[in-house]
Amino acid sequence: MKPLASHHAFSILLAAVLAVALLLVISIATPFGLSAYVANTVGQLAAFAVLALSLDLIWGYLGILSLGHGLFFGIGGYVVAMHLLKHSWQVTGKVPDFMQFMGWSEFPFYWAGFGFFPYALLVAVAVTLLISGVFGYVSFRSRVGGVYFAIITQALVYVAMLLMFRNDTGFGGNNGMTGFAVVFGWPIELKSVVIAMSAVSVLVLGMILLGCRLLLESRFGILMIATRDDEVRLRTLGYETLRLKLVVWCLSALIAALAGMLYVPQVGIINPRLLSPELSLEIAVWVAIGGRGHLIGAVIGAVLVNAVKFWLSAAAPELWPFILSGLIVLVVLVFPNGLVDLAKLKLVRPMGAKRLSSETTELH
């Protein structure tokens, strides 16, 4: 049972997210408010926060750690990049860089229809569901969990990265895809368009936050926590946890793909490095630092870590790995529940310590 304080904290966070969205909307319509640069940064942070929420949903509330969530983020990103390139070509007639590089004058056949956004969206959903569904079913069916599952997800994202590095696949190869000129018929570099994309990202973050909250408070959410805490106990009470885990896993993958669809138009580029194991590991770090098993924790962790990263990558890029590692050590040793511990000023035993040990086979 969550204490009342956490309800308050959630409401405050949701209100803050909506306030930022409102500020962005004001900035679109009037000369007041945020600059395009700041708005763009805020929008990217919001996309990362959505990504962190997707991982927190399965790691924090279902006890399944994925170190390959960059895969689904990448699927969303690649599909939206294909849409933007095709759409830009339709409007401006400019042939994408990667095709010029390959010496192609026509799009590969599987690019057909991508200029139409609903179709691209459908493809993103279908591919995400297919990959997460098949992988999740096979893994959960054979009761693969814990560290083994995490390692396989990591391998999966690595394989995807290697595939995308190939230039002949028609997805941009090692240079990736860039040069998006038009989004929904609007010039993508126009200030109001930049701010509008940011506003959409922040609004989506608010919606995902609220949706996750409603899910977790439902009967289904209670069963998620029960699965996390003692899956065998829940199964022997008559609950088929396979189906439950599969549904949440696929939902989490979809949210990660959505984050990728928000992120790529705002950074203006996608390349295979989005699928590098480092990014996937970093998502887990954001959630761990913010406090897994808390929606607020995931959002704050993602925003804080990435804000520091943005700032440092300009000021002192060589310091970043040390700061990130330092934060991880601090979280593991002192604040097992991340910043949420700091907020409570209570250094409790990590809830995960028991969970991790209970993942090893029990012999009664």
Partner 1 sequence: MGVALLVDTVTVEFGSFRAVDALSLAVDFGEVRAVIGPNGAGKTTLLDVVSGITRPKQGRVIFDNATDITRASEAAIALAGVRRKFQKPSIFEGLSVHQHIVIGTQGGLRRSLAQGALVERVDEVLDVVGLADLAHRSASELAHGQKQWLEIGMVLASNPRLLMLDEPVAGLTEEETERTVALVRRLKRSDRAIVVVEHDMDFVDRIADRVTVLHEGRTLFEGSMANARADERVVDVYLGR
Q: How far apart are CA 4 and CA 261, in angstroms?
A: 35
Structure tokens at 223: 């069963």
Residue type present at position 140:
F
Residue (166 or 354) nearer to partner 1, CB:
354
Nearer to partner 1, 237 or 333 (CB): 237
How far separated are the first and last CA of the chain, in Å rounded? 29
C-beta of 157 vs 224, nearer to partner 1? 224
When the beta carbons of 36 and 223 are compared against partner 1, the nearer one is 223
Q: Using the rule CB under 8 A, is 241 a contact of partner 1?
A: yes
CA–CA separation, 33 and 261 (whole Å): 25
Cβ atoms of 176 and 83 within 8 Å: the answer is: no
Longest dimension (CA), the chain: 69
Please identify, using beta-carbon distances, which residue of 240 and 318 lies nearer to partner 1.
240
Nearer to partner 1, 105 or 236 (CB): 236
3-class SS of residue 183: strand
**DSSP characters for 73-88?**
HHHHHHHHHHHHHHHH
Question: If we measure between CA atoms, which residue out of 248, 299, 204 comes closest to residue 59?
Answer: 248
Question: How do beta strands 182-183 and 177-178 pair?
Answer: unpaired
CA distances from 64 to 252, 295, 352 (A): 11, 16, 11
Residue in 30, 236, 357, 360 binding partner 1, rule: CB under 8 A: 236
Q: Could you say which of 176, 293, 301, 336 contacts partner 1 (CB under 8 A)?
A: 293
Q: Least Å distance between CB 17 and partner 1? A: 25
Site string for partner 1, 45-84 (x = CB under 8 A): ----------------------------------------
Q: Which of residues 324-353 bind partner 1 (CB under 8 A)?
A: 351
Q: Where are the beta strands (DSSP E) in the chain?
A: 177-178, 182-183, 186-187, 269-270
Count residues binding partner 1 (CB under 8 A). 25
Nearest approach in angstroms of CB 355 to partner 1 is 9
Q: Which is nearer to partner 1, 128 or 241 (CB)?
A: 241
Which positions from 195 to 234 touch partner 1 by CB under 8 A, shown as an x/- string? Answer: ---------------------------xx-xx-xxx-xxx
Q: Kindly list the residues in this chain that would bind partner 1 in the complex (CB under 8 A).
A: 1, 222-223, 225-226, 228-230, 232-241, 243-244, 293, 351, 354, 363-364
